[in-house]
């Protein structure tokens, strides 16, 4: 018996909440658990060791093509999407989604495509909204959607986004989530006729798998937007999924509206810092030219250079204040804390 498929997504604050979650599981859980936690692509993940100490189930990094077993926890390794196929796992370095690899949505989406109503999707603590589109795909295929209570989450954006955009089945504190998963894992699935996998879900899953037919296809789900992909500069196509607004470019990079806005804000901040540096360098150079002109007895030109230097400094100060105001604003709304900047 293969049992249920439980897919779990977490970001900032995820290690703590995952530790609490697995502690509440039973050793005879009739399900296989797959986990995506946003991690640095260049780091070494020790999450399997942490979860092995925290709960009764064996945890390990997923391996390409490995046949998965019930009662185990498989974790996406750094810089690889973890995808679910019938009976086995696939690891790919496909296009980032919501600026992450591994990303939550590809795991949820491929699990929903392969196992339909046998899937239980879980969204935990994290910033922005990775996991919302994937959880919607789980529900579309008849699965169960469970979300951590955002009021107790260290970072509530991901749980709140899921609740606002998906008809979730259960909102629960993490202390009660292990028992809830045990309950749903044992609960028989009602016989029902599932809707076929949508063309959009099929293509997005194929893109994550790097299937040539999908990657090189001239057809793209959705309609062309006015926005450029912040990762590659290509045109973004707008996708409609229930109430969600999402975007995907020709090469496969995918963004929710929130993650696209975050990337645009980062690009704007970088441009402002570049402008500030250029103005400060201009002021320094103008003053050197003013000094040279003064030494040569050309006071009029020296005065002109000095005025240009002052003007550059004033414009630079305006940009500096804009940057600082933006940083303070983002810190106050909790969206750009150092601990949660996307890797």
Among the listed residues 38, 81, 100, 253, the single catalytic one is 38
- Local confidence band at 217 (pLDDT 50, 70, 90 cut-offs): confident
For residue 301, how many C-alpha atoms fall within 13 Å in the half-sphere facing its CB? 11
Rounded average pLDDT over 98-120: 96
State yes or no: pLDDT of 102 exceeds 70: yes
**pLDDT at site 198:** 85
DSSP state of 109: H
**pLDDT at site 245:** 87
Spatial distance between the Cα atoms of 276 and 253, rounded to a whole number of angstroms: 30
Spatial distance between the Cα atoms of 46 and 43, rounded to a whole number of angstroms: 10
DSSP 207-256: HHTT-HHHHS-S--SSEEEEEE-TTT-PEEEEEEETTEEEEEETT--EEE
Among the listed residues 130, 157, 206, 340, the single catalytic one is 130
Spatial distance between the Cα atoms of 129 and 137, rounded to a whole number of angstroms: 14
- What lies within 8 Å, CB to CB, of 93 at 6+ separation is 79, 80, 81, 101, 210
Let me know if 81 is a catalytic residue: no
Let me know if 11 is a catalytic residue: yes
State yes or no: pLDDT of 116 exceeds 90: yes
- Whole-prediction pTM: 0.83
Let me know if 88 is a catalytic residue: no
- Local confidence band at 220 (pLDDT 50, 70, 90 cut-offs): low
Q: Tens of pLDDT along 321-339?
A: 988 887 776 655 544 443 3
Among the listed residues 11, 125, 136, 156, the single catalytic one is 11
For residue 158, how many C-alpha atoms fall within 13 Å in the half-sphere facing its CB? 30
Helix (H) / strand (E) element for 140: namely helix 132-140
**pLDDT at site 244:** 81
Spatial distance between the Cα atoms of 307 and 104, rounded to a whole number of angstroms: 54
Token pair 């003007």 in the structure block, residue? 311
State yes or no: pLDDT of 106 exceeds 60: yes
For residue 33, the SS3 value is strand
Q: Tens of pLDDT along 143-196?
A: 999 999 999 999 999 999 999 999 999 999 999 999 999 999 999 887 666 767
């Amino acid at each position: 018996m293969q049992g249920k498929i439980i897919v779990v997504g977490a970001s900032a604050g995820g290690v703590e909440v995952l530790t609490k979650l697995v502690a509440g599981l039973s050793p005879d859980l009739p399900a296989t658990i797959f986990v995506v936690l946003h991690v640095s692509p260049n780091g070494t993940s020790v999450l399997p060791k942490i979860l092995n100490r925290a709960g009764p189930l064996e945890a390990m990094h997923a391996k390409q093509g490995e046949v998965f077993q019930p009662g185990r926890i498989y974790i996406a390794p750094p810089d690889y999407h973890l995808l679910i196929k019938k009976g086995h796992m696939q690891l790919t370095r496909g296009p980032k989604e919501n600026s992450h690899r591994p990303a939550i949505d590809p795991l949820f989406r491929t699990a929903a495509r392969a196992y339909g109503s046998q899937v239980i999707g879980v969204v935990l603590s994290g910033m922005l909204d990775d996991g919302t589109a994937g959880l919607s795909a789980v529900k579309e295929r008849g699965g169960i959607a469970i979300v951590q209570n955002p009021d107790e989450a260290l970072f509530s954006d991901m749980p709140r986004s899921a609740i606002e955009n998906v008809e979730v089945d259960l909102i629960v504190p993490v202390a009660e989530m292990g028992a809830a998963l045990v309950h749903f894992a044992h609960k028989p699935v009602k016989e029902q006729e599932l809707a076929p996998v949508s063309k959009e879900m099929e293509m997005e899953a194929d893109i994550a798998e790097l299937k040539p037919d999908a990657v090189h296809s001239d057809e793209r789900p959705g309609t062309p937007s006015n926005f450029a992909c912040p990762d590659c500069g290509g045109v973004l196509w707008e996708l409609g999924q229930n109430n969600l607004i999402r975007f995907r470019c020709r090469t496969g990079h995918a963004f929710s509206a929130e993650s696209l806005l975050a990337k645009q804000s980062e690009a704007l901040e970088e441009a402002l810092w570049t402008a500030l540096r250029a103005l400060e360098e201009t002021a320094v150079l103008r003053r050197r030219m003013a000094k040279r002109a003064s030494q040569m007895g050309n006071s009029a030109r020296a005065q002109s250079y000095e005025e240009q230097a002052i003007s550059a400094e004033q414009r630079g100060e305006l940009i500096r204040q804009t940057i600082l105001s933006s940083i303070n604003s983002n810190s106050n709304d909790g969206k750009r804390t150092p601990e949660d900047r996307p890797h």
